Amino acid sequence: MKNIYLIIILSLFLSSGCTWHAPKEKSAIELTAIGMKAFEKKKYLKAINSFEKLRDWYPFSKYAILAELKIADSHFYLKEYDEAVLAYNEFEKLHPRNEVIPYIINQIGLCYVKQIDTIDRDQTSAKRGATEFKRLLRQFPESEYSLKAKEHIKKCRESLAGHDLYVGLFYFKTKHYKAALYRFMGIVKEYPELEVSKEALSYISLCESLIKEKEPE
């Protein structure tokens, strides 16, 4: 019975000459303008929405590459660093020879640097940040972004060295002197240019003395 009613209503609709129009999709230029306006006003969620439509509806448009970049940048400014890294990596994968690649690598590095935690926490972000900025220096030494790359690398290395010192001091305080010695020696070897290596060096002699005291004669 329901099917009969549906057929009757549909027949009346068609016979009346009424037609249904799907909402008109915005053009690539319109979506670009909307996205850029939102981005400039720091309305990044709106910008992402517009740029994702542009990317998905017009993948072969000359504006699609801009959309991919601005999606990544929007995530970055929203402090959604994991999403930003994914978007930047995808951009580099799709456009490895694009002129903005130095910027892309720099942004990936910054995503990691901005996630560096205190020295008592996991240091994965510091490791990855250092890796990206070293890659930037190696591949694009003349880039404007390379000027600050060394500063970012130093920050990453200070965090990594600080973590190793934290662990070494923990072992030292709990009287695990051999484990502490290993950590302190690693700091001096890996981070000789940092101030923290001086503190590690002083603990090396202490550990060696305490290890000898514990060894049977």
CB proximity list for 18: less than 8 A, separation 6 or greater: none
pLDDT at 47: 98
Q: Residue 24: what pLDDT?
A: 61
Domain boundaries, the chain: 27-78
pLDDT of residue 12: 38
Confidence band for 214, pLDDT divided at 50, 70 and 90: confident
Q: At residue 175, does pLDDT exceed 50?
A: yes
CA 211 to chain centre: 43
Mean confidence (pLDDT) of the chain: 90
For 23-56, the three-class secondary structure string (H helix, E strand, C coil) is CCCCCHHHHHHHHHHHHHCCCHHHHHHHHHHHHH
| Residues 166, 172, 176: CA angle, nearest 5 degrees | 120
Confidence of residue 216 (pLDDT cuts 50, 70, 90): low
The tens digit of pLDDT for each residue in 143-173 reads 999 989 999 999 999 999 999 999 999 999 9
- How many CB atoms lie under 10 A from the CB of residue 139? 12
Residue 39 has pLDDT above 70, yes or no: yes
Instruction: State residue 25's pLDDT score.
Output: 83
Q: Residue holding tokens 């662990």?
A: 167
Return the percentage of the chain with pLDDT > 70, whole number: 88
Distance CA 30, CA 44 (A): 17
User: What digits encode the pLDDT tens for the residues 51-77?
Assistant: 999 999 999 999 999 999 999 999 999
Residues 106-133 pLDDT 10s: 999 999 999 999 999 999 999 999 999 9
Question: What pLDDT does residue 213 have?
Answer: 87
Please say if the pLDDT value at position 87 is more than 50: yes
